[in-house]
Structure formats: structure tokens, C-alpha cells
Amino acid sequence: MSQNNFRMYMNGKWVEGRGNRRTLIDPSTGSALAEVAEASSEQVHEAVLAAKIAFETTEWPVNAKLRVALLYKLADLLEASAEEFAQVESRNTGKPIRESRLDIMDSVTCIRYYANLVESRDVWQKEMEDGTTSRIHEEPIGVCALIVPWNFPLLLGIWKLAPALAAGNTIVFKPSEITPLSFIKLAALIEEAGMPDGVFNLVLGDGAAVGQPLVSHESVNKVSFTGGAETGRRIYQECAKTLKRVSLELGGKSPLIIFEDADVEIAVDWALFGAFFNQGQVCVASSRILVHNELEQEFLKRLSDRLAHIRIGKPLEEATEMGPVISLDHLKKIEQYIQLGISEGATLFTGGTRIQGEDGYYITPAVFTDVNQEMRIVQEEIFGPVITVQSFHDEEEAIALANGTKYGLAAGILSQDIERANRVANRVQAGTIWINGYHTPHVETAWGGFKQSGIGRELGPYGLAAFTEPKHINMNSQLQKVGWYSAT
């Protein structure tokens, strides 16, 4: 990374933060990785003001060709430096390098998708029955505050940034305070691409010092947040004060339903991928495994065998399949949930112990059995490599268990009976449901949740619509009298 490694980008300039200084920690070693200077509340205001002026005075909101060209250029620049970004992402988050590479290429795909979507979309227009013509313009909202978590710093940021920019908005972006490095690096590419000053602004800091003044700022028109449910509720309440537009993706407690006709070895393969990808630190992680009672014992045996061979190691080693969790505090939180599960009466079937001899934040994947629906380890998002296994007897019980939490982000169904799988999918309350698969987001489709998993959708045309205001223009080609009231 360049000399701008750990600085903020505001109004087309690299600036030093005037707020707190934060030491970033390498999760694989527990040692210092970098130090960043975070924004003061005054700098948050400056960033919002820069975005507001850019929206009101530059051609960015009205020149779609400019936006499309810059997005394509940004995608090309990111693709050309993909390995550098992957290395930065793995060092900052602890995720295995092969996962970081996937994140970077998915980010490139997302940017190009929204450039193409804006380039190819048409204005809706119709001749009405009264002889007038109606058309719908989808216009940018204004200044958008984008706030993302630490588990997929670049990818989740791009899911917001690409459609927001494509629609013509101006941005104040706040990454997680503990994983800002890939977006600092992206800001350098945005500068190289030639983005007009003030269109993209990067501020660093935590929720209290930076997020709160950003969300509450009177000149912010839209807030898009991905993160914890409690923080999401506070943001929702704050946005309601000024009727800001808001999108929230707040996590889940997603089930993977395994029916009796599923191949057990394949089911275990998908369960491992669904539950432990990115160390289980994924909003859609299949942390609740619901398996038909006829398969339960064989499933558990094969699951235990496979878990014993997962390669846990340093993120940058090519053979690593699972890295450390994000921080010491998060490791302690996971361990507290494991102890809670034991105290609630669940059986810790395997795993759940720190790996000795490692300086980083490593823990073996934990599997709980003998659980019931009321247990907190079943109901609450742990956000780590911890799963519960419950058995069911029939389709109705599987659906009831799947729907039996406050969340509704995702679900998976494994069965050779596709008719049954589709029938169950239609009744499971979740925003994304995979049949005989798991985890893959498709940029052309919708992403978001039911119930307390959030409000709104990202990706696909829905993601672009989330950053636009539809304007209806109705035109009568001739100026005529209304004739509604009697003439005097």
C-alpha cells in the first residue's frame, strides 16, 4: 500500500484523521498490523458537506455516461490489483487467502454489473387513457452514508457502493473500525479512476465517534447499514427523526434442512461449507442444522470425521481452510456462547476449544447436539464456528423449526425430491433459499431478509432501486382548460 495506507479520503484529498488513533491487530498473530488516525466529529461534517456540494454542483448525478465509464475503469483497476487486495483482506480479517481472492473477484463482478445495468436501462413510459403521457425517472437520492461490518470489508462495501454510485448519489463511506485497510486501498483506485472531488468520501472510526454523527447528520439523505441487530435498531430510530431513507441488513440464524433422501456425505460437505466458511462469521451461515431423524446419527459421525481433518492455519498459507476469528474480544464472545450452551443443557458434541500454541485467535469448530428451540444458542446469532444440530420427523416439523427464530435471512434445503424442496422453500420465511446448495450470492438477484433480519434488499435491480427516488412526470402535449368549475 502507498503512503496513504492509513489515511482518510475526503473531497478528493488524503487527510489525516483528527480523532482517535487505533492500532489494528493481525488476527492470526495477535500483534499490531497498522495504526490509523480516525475522524473527528468535525471531519464527519466536512465529509458530508463535501458530498452535498458534489451532489449539487457536479455533473455526477445527471451524467450517466460519466458514471458508467468510471465504474468500468474502477472494476478494471481492481481486477488488475486483485492479488494485492486479497493479501490485504486476509491480513486484516484473518480469512483464508482463497476466500479473499473470491471476495475480490466478486467485487469486480458487482461493479461491472451495476455499470452495465445503468448503461442498458430504459425510462418507463406509457400513453395513458386520458391522452397524457406518463414516464418514470429513477433519480439519485442525494448524500448516502454507507456503513459496513468487518467480516467482508470490501465485498459488502462494494454491494452498497457500486449501486449507489451507479444511481448518481454521492457517498460518505464508513468501514468497520477494525478492518478499514481494503477500502483505504480502494479509495486510491477511486482517485486514480478520476472520480470528481466529493463524490466519494472515506471516514474512519467506530460507531459512537463517527457512525452516530454520520447517521444523524441533517444533510445525509440515505443510510445503508449492514451489521448487528441492536445497532440496526438504533440507526432505524435515528433515521426516523428526519425520515431518512434507510436499508438494514441485520444478520440471521439460518437453517440447513437435510431430508432423509439426501446423500449423507454430500450433506456433510454442504453443512461444513454453509456453517464454517469465513470461520462462521457470515450473516447467512447455516448455524442451525436440521436433519431428519433417520440420518442424524450417521450425519453426526461423518461430520465429526470431516471436522477432524479441516486444515486450520495461517490465512496466507494456500492450504488453509479455516483461519482465526476476527479478534480476541470476538473469540471470548464465542467461548461465552459455548459455555452458555453447556449450561443450558446442550451437549458439546465436538470442538469449541482454543488451539494451543497459536498466538492468534484460533478455535476449533463447535457442534452442539441435544438442543431445543428455546436455547439461546439456537435463537441468537453467535457469528462464529458454532452450530447446533436438531432432528425432525417430518416436513411440517422441519418447517416449524426453520421458522422458529426472529430472523429470516437465508436457508438451505438438501433433498433429491425437488417437488418437496420447492414446497418447503415456499413456506420457509427467508430472503434467500438455496435448494441443494448454499452460500452463493448471485449479483443479479435480491439479497436481504425477512423479519428481524433487516429492511430492504441489495444486489440485482433491487440494489439499484434502493438508491433511487422514482419521479413520475405526466405530460399533456397541449395546454387546455380544465373545465371542472363553472365559468363566471
pLDDT in tens, the chain (488 residues): 444 567 999 999 999 999 999 999 999 999 999 999 999 999 999 999 999 999 999 999 999 999 999 999 999 999 999 999 999 999 999 999 999 999 999 999 999 999 999 999 999 999 999 999 999 999 999 999 999 999 999 999 999 999 999 999 999 999 999 999 999 999 999 999 999 999 999 999 999 999 999 999 999 999 999 999 999 999 999 999 999 999 999 989 999 999 999 999 999 999 999 999 999 999 999 999 999 999 999 999 999 999 999 999 999 999 999 999 999 999 999 999 999 999 999 999 999 999 977 789 999 999 999 999 999 999 999 999 999 999 999 999 999 999 999 999 999 999 999 999 999 999 999 999 999 999 999 999 999 999 999 999 999 999 999 999 999 999 999 998 888 898 76
pLDDT of residue 3: 45
Strands (E), 316-430: 347-350, 366-369, 386-392, 407-408, 410-414
In angstroms, rounded to a whole number, what is the distance separating the alpha carbons of residues 238 and 240? 5
pLDDT of residue 1: 45
pLDDT of residue 486: 84
For residues 210 and 17, the answer to whether their CB atoms sit within 8 Å is no
Residues constituting the chain: 488
DSSP string of 272-302, one letter each residue: HHHHHGGGG--TT---EEEEETTTHHHHHHH
pTM higher than the cut 0.85: yes
Sign of CA dihedral 234, 175, 107, 277: negative
In angstroms, rounded to a whole number, what is the distance separating the alpha carbons of residues 214 and 222? 11
In angstroms, rounded to a whole number, what is the distance separating the alpha carbons of residues 255 and 433? 10
Q: Which three cell numbers stand for residue 347?
A: 451437549
Alpha carbons within 13 angstroms on the beta-carbon side of residue 409 total: 26
Other Cβ atoms less than 10 A from the Cβ of 109: the count is 16
Q: How far is CA 158 from the centre of its chain?
A: 9
Domains of the chain, first to last = 8-250+453-473 (3.40.605.10), 255-435 (3.40.309.10)
Residues assigned a catalytic role: 249, 283
**How confident is the model over 277-312, as pLDDT tens digits?**
999 999 999 999 999 999 999 999 999 999 999 999
Q: How far is CA 203 from CA 38, 39, 42, 192, 461, in A?
A: 7, 6, 11, 18, 28
With a pLDDT cut of 70, the percent of the chain lying above it is 98
> Residue 54 carries which side chain, given as an amino acid letter?
A
DSSP H helices, 206-327, are: 212-216, 229-240, 264-276, 296-307
